[in-house]
Chains A and B, each alone.
Chain A
Amino acid sequence: MLVLEDVHVYYGAIHALKGISFQVNQGEIVTLIGSNGAGKSTSLKTISGLLRPKQGKLTFNSEDLSSIPPQNVVAKGISQVPEGRRVFANMTVMENLDMGAFLRKDKSGIKKDVERVFELFPRLKERKSQVAGTLSGGEQQMLAMGRALMSKPQLMLLDEPSMGLAPILVKQIFDIIKEINAQGTTILLVEQNAHMALSVANRAYVLETGKIVLSGEARELAASEEVRKAYLGG
Chain B
Amino acid sequence: MGHILQQFSQQAVNGLSLGSIYALIALGYTMVYGIVKLINFAHGDVMMVGAYLGWIVTTQLHWSFLPALFFAMVVSAILGMLIERIAYKPLRNASRIAALITAIGVSLFLEYGGMLLVTAQVRTYPPVFPETVYNVAGIMFKYGDVVMLVTSVVLMFLLQFTVQYTKVGKSMRAVSFDKDAALLMGVNVNNTISATFAIGSALAGAAGVLMGVYFNTIDPLMGIIPGLKAFVAAVLGGIGIIPGAMVGGLVLGLTEAFVSGLGASTWRDAVAFLILILVLIIKPTGLFGKNVREKV
Residues of A within 8 A of B (CB): 48-50, 70-72, 74-75, 79-80, 82, 86-91, 95, 98-100, 102-103, 133, 135-137, 140, 147, 151, 164
Contacts and interface: CB of A to CB of B under 8 A. Distances in A.
Nearest to B183: A70
Contact of A86 (B170, B178, B295): B178
29 contacts: A50-B180, A70-B184, A71-B186, A71-B187, A71-B188, A74-B185, A75-B186, A79-B184, A82-B180, A82-B181, A82-B184, A86-B180, A86-B181, A88-B174, A88-B177, A88-B181, A89-B294, A90-B292, A99-B182, A99-B185, A99-B187, A100-B185, A102-B167, A102-B171, A133-B292, A137-B296, A140-B295, A147-B185, A151-B186
Interface string B147-180: 0000000000000000000010011011001101
B245 to A, nearest CB: 16
Contacts of A88: 173-174, 177-178, 181
B189 interface: yes
Interface of B: 167, 170-171, 173-174, 177-178, 180-189, 292, 294-296
Given A71-B189, A137-B295, 4 more contacts: A86-B184, A88-B178, A89-B294, A137-B296
What DSSP secondary structure best describes chain B's contact surface?
Answer: helix
A133 B184 CA distance: 19
A81 to B, nearest CB: 9
Closest 9 CB pairs of A and B: A103-B186, A86-B181, A74-B186, A70-B183, A164-B296, A102-B185, A102-B186, A99-B185, A71-B186
Contact of B295 (A75, A90, A103, A136): A136
A140 B294 CA distance: 11
Contact of A91 (B167, B174, B184, B295): B174
Nearest to B176: A90
B131 to A, nearest CB: 46
Contacts of A89: 177, 292, 294
